[in-house]
Amino acid sequence: MLNTIFHIDENSKWEMVNSNIYHLFEWMKFNHENGIIELVINGDAVEMAKKDSSVILKKLTELDVQVMICENSLNQCHLGWLNCLCNKGRDSAILNLK
């Protein structure tokens, strides 16, 4: 079983992290490897968690990637968790994208 966590905190890195996740997903599928892929988003990158910017995140969740968003970063960017496509998780500082 292969469990992998990716992290992003800069908007300029979205293309790279999406590519890395997609390639890992394809490799796992090709090699019949089970596991969990998780993306942790904090810092400026939380701007992509807004409802009107969800295209990238929607594609990831369609691949069953678990997306976690830092609530503190959302608050610092004046977004708040109500403005993103997520639900509060067990830890109030981390939000799960649904």
Does pTM surpass 0.85? no
| Dist CA 71 CA 76 (whole Å) | 9
Residue 84 is predicted with a pLDDT of 54
Residue 38, both tokens: 């998780």
Over range 80-93, report the average pLDDT.
Answer: 51
Work out how many domains the chain is built from and give that number: 1
Contact 28, 35 (CB under 8 A): yes
Say whether pLDDT at 96 is over 60.
no
Q: What are 16's strand-pairing partners?
A: none
Contact 8, 17 (CB under 8 A): yes
Residue 90 is predicted with a pLDDT of 45
pLDDT band at 30 (very low <50, low <70, confident <90, very high): very high
As a whole number, the mean pLDDT across the chain is 80
Residue 54 is predicted with a pLDDT of 56
